[in-house]
Amino acid sequence: MPHIKTIEGKLNAQGLKIALVASRFNDIIVDRLVGGAVDYFVRHGLERENLTLVRVPGAFELPLACRKLAQSGKYDGIEALGAIIRGATPHFDFVASEATKGIAGVSLDTGVPIGFGLLTTDSIEQAVERAGSKAGNKGAEAAAALLETIRVLEQL
């Protein structure tokens, strides 16, 4: 590839202020995602006092809390964390689609980056796999994506 001017984000979280918004529904899974996110940010230089955790009832409530936090102007980035598991509800598709669209809309409307740490799985087993076992930890992955996005947007 020819050498071209490239803008990319450094994975250094020092000095940032981050809000995590996590749903209580399926908390056995979501708590593992929160743990993965906290661990990622702290290992990348974030001071614990600059990390705030907000709890909401379920994934459906994530967009509204993300919007208020984004509008407050207090945070460089937000990470939404939750788990929607098919079978737990007949309205899986509605909750999943509203939560996903809602979170994306908040980020685009406010310009505040939001890490998408919301699992949508067919089974509890698939959720467990993505919450710190054989398929990694989606909370940590979304934290990495958020940090990179914050740092790249600063330069655009």
Binding stretches for ligand INI (CB under 6 A): 23, 25-26, 57-61, 82-85, 88-89, 92, 95
Shortest Cβ 81–ligand INI spacing (Å): 10
Residue 16 or 132: the one with the smaller Cβ distance to ligand INI is 132
Measured from the CB atom, the residue of 94 and 136 that comes closer to ligand INI is: 94
Give every CB contact of residue 128 below 8 A, 6+ residues apart in sequence: 29
44 in catalytic set:
no
Residue nearest to ligand INI (CB): 58
Please, what is the minimum distance in Å from the beta carbon of residue 99 to ligand INI?
A: 7
Cβ atoms 106, 10 nearer than 8 A: no
Rounded to a whole number of angstroms, the minimum distance from the CB of residue 141 to ligand INI is 18
**Cα dihedral across residues 56, 141, 88, 28: positive or negative:** negative
Spatial separation of the C-alpha atoms in residues 125 and 72, rounded to whole Å: 37
Q: Which of 113, 118, 110, 124 is nearest to 138 (CA)?
A: 118
CB of 27 to ligand INI, least distance (A): 9
Nearer to ligand INI, 43 or 94 (CB): 94
Q: Which of 91, 93, 108, 136 is catalytic?
A: 91
* Residue number, 51 or 95, with CB nearest to ligand INI: 95
CA distance linking residue 106 with residue 109, whole number of Å: 5
Query: Which value, to the nearest 10 degrees, does the dihedral of the CA atoms of residues 153, 97, 58, 44 take?
Result: -30
